[in-house]
């Protein structure tokens, strides 16, 4: 009998007999928190309004249906806006642009930031230095200021707004991902991959990427929350979605001067935007708490 | 033999008395430690020995009325000078901590506050416990405390921050702090773990002298049996949250009765090389997963049916020697634990497979290796010994192509290799396999064990595609892991299992040389012994060569054929293992040998045979 | 330490230089004749020619940039295309008003958020912590204009009428002459940034409270107050300093929207107007100033970090 079999280590009874995927475990633990449940319910609610709202709108968002700033009537549930359009119908139509643009900006920003962050962390040296200096330059502009600068040059174009918001996210995401990846680069499993000659691309996407999914998810949630706020703010400033389109941010801008006589034109979109960002914030935070808990071995 | 309900000595003579202490997790009432009984009197050192996770630090901190967040004391008494710590109000507890019972931390590097000067950290201790004294008096006392631990009591030193001190100095500051208020009891929590043997020897000497001079009762928590053998008057062995055996030092080391104590002693490497080391299969059950009966039963060779039913109570065999085992009468029939006898090592051929010639290496602008020459023959195990900072890891990384700012040549057989692993031939990357110190860090946490090993096979044996699953199983089998391990992630394995996986991954490449960089230093002694056994077996079976890098002198005596001793980036001595150990030529080697604590020397020194 | 700081200053200057290129490039992006684009279609050929000469548009791009940067560095920020006034003159009073607003908000927000963060960490997982962490989480998610509008609804119009909804400041006067106009915009800023800083402070404190040296301080028998304020806070404050700088810089951007909400006569409202009018010289000047504020605040944060971190203070580099 060889010594190797004599010292075989039996396995300790595993905590769970069948290991679920990490993603499934995380999702379950996240939704186990009441704040995540609240967040999800609100998010789904808003999503339903955004997607199916237009189907239930009594009027076209641009049609004049009542006297300007008139109050609630059988004809217009929440009254009419300063031009006499139905506030409720405009509200039901007004979520698509904001959510669609925010999602697009988030995907661009997080994708760009991920690639930059991982490359900077792994390649290090000059590449890292140059990438981070460029990131510094873009971080020197508050996100809304960068957007305004480009709008002043190109005019209020939707693609431009999506792109600027996305680009302004990228250096912030890149910093977080770089920070997470730098700790990994020091870890021995990356050295082990280098010692056996794994190609750089494989080290970045095969070894590092799977280990930054948690911060990446948190960043995605955060950036979505901020994108919604930013896109809404740009439209609110009158520099995003242009009239006569129905959009929550624009609605607030259009109706804020008649706030006292016709509060719904402001309050409906304000509440919707607030609920939307709170819901994404709650879900992101719940997820982050779970991840931190797991990483600490709790 | 008497029953286990001990009245204990009267309170006046005992500085520390713990009875049936139980600590649970607040969350779900899982027991962390239970049934703890401790007696220490003034001027006495009790060594509390246990492997990681055994609960020894938890017990140590309980003497100060402290439990780490998440845990709480639910039963038993902790008496210090006859006063029950559990009944103290917050103000009394504050006076107790630091005043009556002082604590020496495991890692002073993290236990000293990085934002406060050394002087401040010392004087605030006195402020808290000798509040009425004047500032001048406190300053004088601070300086006195520093002098006691042989540190300079200068203004300059008092103004320093902890990061400006060496590890040994940091630990001395912590000791000075502990003794500053003249406590009656000292809790030492593995205070020499991070230190080199030379520094360790001096720190131990300081602690011993201070304990004797000031007649304090000391609880010395450690995983290191050799240190405890040198320092302690009494020893208690912890396993999975219970003290399974306790007694006077001589009895504990020469006539241990608990099967765990006996196996643990057999796992300790012997500097004199007179006995082989033997690992303990399996690992200790974690809180919440502990069996109904004796916790050691699943790993015990003496277990009987009764052991599975109830946890055995402590029974006294010799005066003061208490054992929790139903088989304690029979275990000594195994023979003495510190028995002699050495397994023969496989003979190596003269053919050199790996060599380094005239290696000079730099890290940033500093030269870290100087003119290194070494050669490993086929089937040979060459040990590379050195303390931290000696350059041994840099050397290992140069050899593996992970540290590339070096000059000189690394050769595989006759072929000189490029500096960087990426620029080396596929053959070089395959035949030299590096195994890292910390197996948790060297395995990708998001990959299953099977995926990790399969990737290695794909890299070095592209033809194995079809039957890769079977090959992965074979690889695991070679390191005595079951095929079920393939579906697990690293965090689902124990430390020893993870290191086996790392070895399996290296072997999957069919290497000629394994470069093992401190691969057992993160492991418990029983697991370390098992890994060492595995390596010896693999060598015998496959004709593998091993470059075994370690700081542990005693460990290599058991496994290596030759040894190179490193210090300050230079190899100061190379020779056959017995020659170096028995007739060391370099002063540095002599010093290392003299400072390495061993059980045999500690017992022999005091006139007790093993 | 000084070496480190000099390095940071050089990087700061480099960043500002690159920022100026980005800002300048934005002007270049204007399609066709920049002067015509700025002045609009109705402009007379003489005015277009005059602006073309003033912006050196008939010279090479590099030379245009050189002229412009030289002007910026010497305090000559150019002429507003919309009002034909000197940009410096146009924005000076606005800058002062914005600086006052940000200062008021910072004086309230910084101590408040540090204190809240410490308190939440000390009361970790107790009801007070849960309530506060939930509140800060919700507030942190809200866009600042939403906070502003809610404050207007609650305190200036529909619900109660305590403060002015619109920050009217007569021409020639400053915001500090009429302090009531600052209350709501400043409150909005405070509510917008406090959650971030306090949450970072809480997280950092929680980590430090679990550290070995805090355990050691407790085992030394020190009082809770000493453990928290002497041993924990100095080690926990660095992330809060860094994020405070970011948040103060963010305030410089956040004021853009908040000033618009309250029609507060600061540079933010000016920026929105100028962007709507495509008054490029003013937009350039304001963005450069905001970016400079960011760079300077970051430098100050680095300096503060060094001062509270002995390891950095005593290190050679």
Q: How far apart are CA C35 and CA C47, in angstroms?
A: 9
Domain edge (last residue) among C51, C73, C95? C73
pLDDT value for B607? 39
Q: Model confidence at C153, in pLDDT bands (50, 70, 90)? A: confident
- Distance of residue B178 Cα from the nearest chain C Cα, in angstroms: 8
ipTM of the complex: 0.84
**Domain made up of B352-445+511-604: CATH architecture:** 3-Layer(aba) Sandwich (3.40)
User: For chain C, how many structural domains are there in total?
Assistant: 2
* Same domain, residue pair C193 and C229: yes
Average pLDDT over residues C240-245: 88
Q: Which helix (H) or strand (E) holds B221?
A: strand B217-222
Using the structure block, give the residue that is written with the tokens 């400079």. Answer: C292
Contact assessment for residue B565 and residue B580, using Cβ atoms and an 8 Å cutoff: yes
- Strands B406-412 and B381-386, sheet pairing: unpaired
Whether C283 maps to a domain, the answer reads yes
Average pLDDT over residues C287-303: 88
* Domain assignments of chain B as residue spans, ordered by start: 16-111+183-334, 352-445+511-604
**Quick check: B530 and A7 CB within 8 A?**
yes
Average pLDDT over residues C273-280: 83
Which of the other chains make 3 or more beta carbon contacts under 8 angstroms with chain C?
Answer: A, B
Residue C307: closest C-alpha in chain B:
B115
Using the structure block, give the residue that is written with the tokens 């730098």. Answer: A182
Please name the residue ranges forming H helices in A248-263: 248-255
C90: number of CA atoms within 13 Å, CB side? 25
Contact assessment for residue A265 and residue A247, using Cβ atoms and an 8 Å cutoff: no
Q: Which residues does residue B22 pair with via DSSP β-bridges, in sequence order?
A: B75
Q: Is B34 helix (H, G, I), strand (E, B) or coil?
A: strand
Which of the other chains make 3 or more beta carbon contacts under 8 angstroms with chain B?
Answer: A, C
Domain containing residue C303: CATH number: 1.10.3720.10
Contact list in A for residue C152 (CB cut-off 8 A) is 259
Contact list in B for residue C218 (CB cut-off 8 A) is 66, 97
Question: What residues of chain A, 206 to 245, have a C-beta less than 8 Å from chain B?
Answer: 207, 210-211, 213
Has residue C1 got a pLDDT over 70? no
**Quick check: B112 and C308 CB within 8 A?**
no
Residue A232: closest C-alpha in chain C:
C143
pLDDT value for B599? 87
* Same domain, residue pair C67 and C91: no
- Strands B366-377 and B352-363, sheet pairing: antiparallel
* Same domain, residue pair C244 and C172: yes
User: What pLDDT tens digit does each residue of chain A (298 aa) get?
Assistant: 333 333 333 333 333 334 456 778 888 888 888 889 999 999 999 999 999 988 888 888 888 877 877 777 777 778 888 888 888 889 999 898 999 999 999 999 999 999 999 999 999 889 999 999 899 888 888 888 888 888 888 888 889 899 999 999 999 999 999 999 998 888 889 999 988 888 889 999 989 999 998 889 999 999 999 999 999 999 998 888 888 888 999 999 888 888 878 888 888 999 999 999 999 999 998 888 888 766 554 3
* Same domain, residue pair C140 and C54: no
Rounded to whole angstroms, the maximal C-alpha distance in chain C is 83
pLDDT digits (tens, 9 = 90+) for C171-212: 777 777 777 888 899 999 999 999 989 999 999 999 999 899
More confident residue, C75 or A283: A283
Whether C206 maps to a domain, the answer reads yes
Sheet holding B381-386, edge to edge: B432-435, B513-517, B545-550, B381-386, B562-567, B570-576
* Same domain, residue pair C55 and C114: no
* Same domain, residue pair C35 and C138: no
pLDDT value for C29? 66
Residue C215: closest C-alpha in chain B:
B111
What range defines the domain where residue C16 resides?
2-73
Q: Which residues does residue B21 pair with via DSSP β-bridges, in sequence order?
A: B36
* Same domain, residue pair C99 and C69: no
Cα-trace Rg, chain B: 26
Residue A208: closest C-alpha in chain B:
B444
Q: Model confidence at C315, in pLDDT bands (50, 70, 90)? A: low
* Same domain, residue pair C140 and C268: yes
Contact list in C for residue A248 (CB cut-off 8 A) is none
- B306 DSSP assignment: G
**Quick check: C14 and A133 CB within 8 A?**
yes
| CATH dotted code for B16-111+183-334 | 3.40.50.300
Contact list in B for residue A3 (CB cut-off 8 A) is 533-534, 536-537
Residue B339 token pair = 């028995």
Helix, strand, coil % in chain B, rounded to nearest 5 = 40, 25, 40
* Same domain, residue pair C148 and C54: no
Contact assessment for residue A230 and residue A147, using Cβ atoms and an 8 Å cutoff: yes
B238: number of CA atoms within 13 Å, CB side? 30
Share of chain C above pLDDT 90, in %: 25
Out of B443, B460, B481, whose CB is closest to A189?
A: B443
**Quick check: C221 and B110 CB within 8 A?**
no
Q: Which residues of B451-481 are buried (b: 16+ CB within 10 A; e: fewer)?
A: ebbbbbbebbeeeeeeebeebbbbbbebbbb
pLDDT value for B4? 45
- Strands B432-435 and B513-517, sheet pairing: parallel
Residues of chain B with pLDDT under 70: 1-14, 132, 339-349, 605-610
Question: What residues of chain C, 130 to 189, have a C-beta less than 8 Å from chain A?
Answer: 134, 137-138, 140-146, 149-150, 152-153, 157-158, 165
Q: How far apart are CA B393 and CA A111, in angstroms?
A: 38
Q: Which residues of B485-521 are buried (b: 16+ CB within 10 A; e: fewer)?
A: bbebbbebbbbbbbbbbbbbbbbbbebbbbbbbbbbe
| Averaged pLDDT score across all residues of chain C | 84
- Distance of residue A132 Cα from the nearest chain B Cα, in angstroms: 22
* Same domain, residue pair C13 and C146: no
* Same domain, residue pair C6 and C143: no
- Distance of residue B448 Cα from the nearest chain A Cα, in angstroms: 11
CA B48 distance to own-chain centroid:
14
pLDDT value for B64? 92
pLDDT value for B237? 96
* Same domain, residue pair C68 and C108: no
Contact list in B for residue C235 (CB cut-off 8 A) is 113-115
**Quick check: C143 and A228 CB within 8 A?**
yes
Please, which residues have CB within 8 angstroms of residue B38's CB and are 6 or more apart in sequence? B16, B17, B18, B21, B46, B48, B59, B63, B219, B236, B243
Same fold, B16-111+183-334 and B352-445+511-604: yes
Give the number of B-C residue pairs with CB atoms closer than 8 Å: 77
Three-state secondary structure of chain C: CHHHHHHHHHHHHHHHHHHHHHHHHHHHCCCCCHHHHHHCCCCCHHHHHHHHHHCCCCCCHHHHHHHHHHHHHCCCCCECCCCCCEHHHHHHHHHHHHHHHHHHHHHHHHHHHHHHHHHHHHCCCCHHHHHHHHHHHHHHHCCHHHHHHHHHHHHCCCCCCCCCCCCCCCCCCCHHHCCHHHHHHHHHHHHHHHHHHHHHHHHHHHHHHCCHHHHHHHHCCCCHHHHHHHHHHHHHHHHHHHHHHHHHHHHHHHHHHHHHHHCCCCHHHHHHHHHHHCCHHHHHHHHHHHHHHHHHHHHHHHHHHHHHCHHHHHCCC
Give the number of A-B residue pairs with CB atoms closer than 8 Å: 108
Q: In B259-328, at which residue ranges do the beta strands (DSSP E only) sit? A: 315-318, 321-323
Out of A137, A154, A260, whose CB is closest to C22?
A: A137
A227: number of CA atoms within 13 Å, CB side? 33
Residues of B near C (CB-CB distance < 8 A)?
A: 61, 64, 66, 68-69, 93-99, 103, 105, 107, 110-117, 124-125, 128-129, 161, 163-164, 177
Rounded to whole angstroms, the maximal C-alpha distance in chain A is 96
**Quick check: B494 and A9 CB within 8 A?**
yes
Residue B40: phi, psi to the nearest 5?
Answer: -135, 135
pLDDT value for A10? 32
Contact assessment for residue B265 and residue B225, using Cβ atoms and an 8 Å cutoff: yes
pLDDT value for B342? 53
**Interface-testing mutation among B446, B520, B528, with chain A (most A C-beta atoms within 10 A):** B446
Contact list in A for residue C295 (CB cut-off 8 A) is 140
pLDDT value for B494? 85
- Distance of residue B158 Cα from the nearest chain C Cα, in angstroms: 14
Q: How far apart are CA B512 and CA B303, in angstroms?
A: 41
Domain edge (last residue) among C43, C73, C103? C73
């Amino acid at each position: 009998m060889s010594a190797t079999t004599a010292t075989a280590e039996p396995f300790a009874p595993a905590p769970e007999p069948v290991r679920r995927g990490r993603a499934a475990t995380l999702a379950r633990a996240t939704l186990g928190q009441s704040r995540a449940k609240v967040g999800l319910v609100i998010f789904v609610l808003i999503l339903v309004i955004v997607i199916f709202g237009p189907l239930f709108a009594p009027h076209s968002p641009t049609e004049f249906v009542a006297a300007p700033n008139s109050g609630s009537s059988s004809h217009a549930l929440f009254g009419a806006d300063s031009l006499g359009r139905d506030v409720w119908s405009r509200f039901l139509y007004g979520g698509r642009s904001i959510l669609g643009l925010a999602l697009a900006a988030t995907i661009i920003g997080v994708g760009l930031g991920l690639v930059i962050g991982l490359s900077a962390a792994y390649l290090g040296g000059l590449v890292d230095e140059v990438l981070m200096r460029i990131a510094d330059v873009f971080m020197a502009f508050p996100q809304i200021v960068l957007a305004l600068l480009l709008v002043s040059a190109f005019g209020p174009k939707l693609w431009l707004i999506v792109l600027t918001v996305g680009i302004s996210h990228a250096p912030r995401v890149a910093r977080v991902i770089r920070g997470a990846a730098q700790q990994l680069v020091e870890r021995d499993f990356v050295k082990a991959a280098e010692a056996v000659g794994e190609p750089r691309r494989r080290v970045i996407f095969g070894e590092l990427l799977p280990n930054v999914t948690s911060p990446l998810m948190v960043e995605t949630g955060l950036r979505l929350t901020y994108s919604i706020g930013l896109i809404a703010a740009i439209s609110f400033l009158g520099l995003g979605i242009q009239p006569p389109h129905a959009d929550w941010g624009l609605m607030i801008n259009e109706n804020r001067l008649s706030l006292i006589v016709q509060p719904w034109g402001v309050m409906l979109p304000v509440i919707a935007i607030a609920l939307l960002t709170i819901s994404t914030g709650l879900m992101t935070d719940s997820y982050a708490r779970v991840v931190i808990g797991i990483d600490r071995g709790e | 033999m008497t029953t286990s309900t001990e009245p204990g000595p009267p309170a006046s003579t005992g500085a520390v008395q713990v009875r049936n202490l139980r600590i649970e997790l607040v969350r779900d009432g899982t027991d962390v430690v239970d049934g703890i009984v401790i007696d220490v009197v003034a001027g006495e050192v009790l060594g509390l020995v246990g492997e990681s996770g055994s609960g020894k630090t938890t017990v140590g901190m309980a003497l100060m009325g402290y439990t780490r967040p998440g845990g709480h004391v639910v039963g038993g008494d902790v008496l210090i000078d006859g006063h029950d710590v559990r009944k103290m109000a917050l103000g009394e507890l504050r006076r107790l901590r630091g005043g009556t019972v002082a604590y020496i931390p495991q890692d002073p590097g993290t236990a000293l506050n990085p934002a406060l000067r050394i002087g401040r950290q010392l004087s605030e201790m006195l402020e808290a416990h000798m509040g009425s004294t004047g500032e001048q008096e406190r300053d004088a006392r601070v300086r006195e405390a520093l002098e006691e631990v042989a540190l300079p009591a200068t203004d300059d030193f008092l103004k320093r921050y902890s990061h400006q001190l060496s590890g040994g100095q940091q630990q001395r500051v912590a000791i000075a702090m502990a003794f500053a208020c003249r406590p009656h009891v000292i809790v030492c929590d593995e205070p020499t773990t991070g230190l080199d043997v030379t520094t360790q020897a001096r720190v131990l000497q300081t602690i011993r002298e201070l304990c004797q001079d000031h007649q304090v009762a000391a609880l010395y928590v450690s995983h290191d049996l050799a240190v405890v053998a040198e320092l302690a008057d009494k020893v208690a062995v912890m396993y999975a949250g219970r003290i399974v055996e306790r007694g006077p030092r001589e009895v504990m080391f020469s006539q241990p009765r608990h099967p765990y104590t006996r196996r643990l002693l057999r796992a300790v490497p012997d500097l004199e090389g007179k006995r082989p080391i033997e690992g303990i299969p399996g690992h200790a059950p974690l809180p919440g997963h502990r069996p109904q009966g004796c916790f050691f039963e699943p790993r015990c060779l003496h277990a009987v049916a009764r052991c599975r039913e109830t946890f055995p109570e402590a029974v006294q065999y010799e005066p003061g020697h208490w054992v929790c085992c139903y088989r304690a009468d029979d275990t000594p029939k195994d023979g003495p634990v510190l028995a002699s006898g050495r397994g023969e090592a496989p003979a190596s051929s003269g053919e050199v497979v790996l060599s380094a010639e005239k290696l000079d290496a730099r890290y940033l602008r500093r030269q870290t290796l100087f003119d290194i020459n070494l050669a490993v023959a086929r089937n040979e195990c060459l040990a590379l010994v050195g303390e931290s900072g000696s350059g041994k890891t840099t050397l290992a990384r140069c050899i593996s192509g992970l540290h590339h700012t070096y000059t000189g040549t690394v050769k595989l057989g006759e072929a000189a290799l490029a500096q960087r692993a990426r620029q080396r031939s596929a053959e070089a990357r395959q035949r030299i396999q590096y195994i890292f110190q910390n197996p948790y860090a060297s395995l990708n946490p998001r990959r299953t064990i099977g995926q990790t090993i399969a990737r290695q096979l794909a890299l070095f044996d592209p033809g194995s595609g079809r039957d890769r699953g079977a090959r992965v199983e074979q690889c695991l089998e070679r390191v005595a892991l079951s095929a079920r391990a393939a579906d697990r992630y690293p965090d689902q394995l124990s430390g020893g299992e993870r290191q086996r996986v790392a070895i399996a991954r290296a072997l999957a490449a069919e290497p000629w040389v394994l470069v093992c960089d401190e691969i057992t230093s993160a492991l418990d002694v029983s697991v370390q012994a098992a890994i060492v056994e595995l390596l010896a077996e693999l060598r015998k079976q496959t004709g593998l060569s091993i470059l075994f890098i370690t700081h542990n002198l005693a460990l290599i005596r058991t496994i290596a054929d030759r040894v190179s001793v490193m210090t300050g980036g230079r190899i100061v001595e190379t020779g056959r293992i017995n020659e170096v150990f028995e007739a060391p030529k370099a002063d540095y080697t002599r010093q290392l040998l003299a400072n390495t604590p061993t059980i045999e020397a500690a017992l022999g020194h005091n006139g007790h045979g093993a | 330490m000084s070496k480190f700081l000099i390095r940071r200053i050089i990087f700061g200057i480099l960043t500002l230089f690159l920022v100026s290129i980005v800002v300048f490039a934005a002007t270049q992006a204007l399609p066709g004749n920049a002067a015509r684009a700025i002045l609009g279609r109705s402009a007379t050929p003489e005015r277009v020619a005059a602006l073309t000469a003033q912006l050196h548009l008939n010279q090479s791009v590099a030379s245009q940039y050189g002229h412009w940067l030289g002007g910026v560095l010497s305090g000559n920020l150019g002429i507003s295309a919309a009002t034909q006034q000197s940009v410096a003159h146009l924005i000076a009073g606005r800058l002062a008003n914005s600086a006052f607003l940000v200062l008021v908000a910072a004086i309230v927000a910084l101590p408040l958020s540090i204190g809240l963060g410490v308190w939440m960490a000390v009361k970790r997982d107790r009801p007070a912590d849960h309530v506060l962490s939930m509140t800060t989480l919700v507030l942190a998610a809200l866009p600042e204009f939403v906070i502003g509008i809610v404050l207007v609804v609650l305190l200036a119009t529909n619900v109660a009428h305590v403060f002015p909804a619109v920050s009217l400041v007569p021409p020639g006067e400053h915001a500090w002459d009429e302090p009531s106009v600052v209350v709501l915009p400043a409150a909005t800023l405070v509510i917008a940034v406090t959650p971030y800083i306090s949450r970072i402070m809480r997280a950092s404190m929680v980590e430090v409270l679990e550290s070995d040296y805090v355990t050691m301080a407790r085992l030394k028998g020190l009082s809770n107050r000493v453990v928290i304020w002497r041993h924990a806070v100095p080690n926990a404050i660095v992330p809060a300093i860094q994020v405070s700088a970011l948040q103060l810089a963010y305030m410089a951007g956040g004021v853009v929207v908040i000033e618009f909400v309250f029609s507060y006569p600061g540079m933010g409202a000016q920026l929105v107007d100028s962007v709507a009018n495509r008054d490029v010289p003013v937009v350039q000047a304001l963005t450069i100033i905001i970016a400079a504020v960011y760079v300077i605040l970051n430098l100050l944060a680095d300096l503060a970090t060094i001062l509270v971190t002995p390891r950095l203070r005593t290190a050679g580099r």
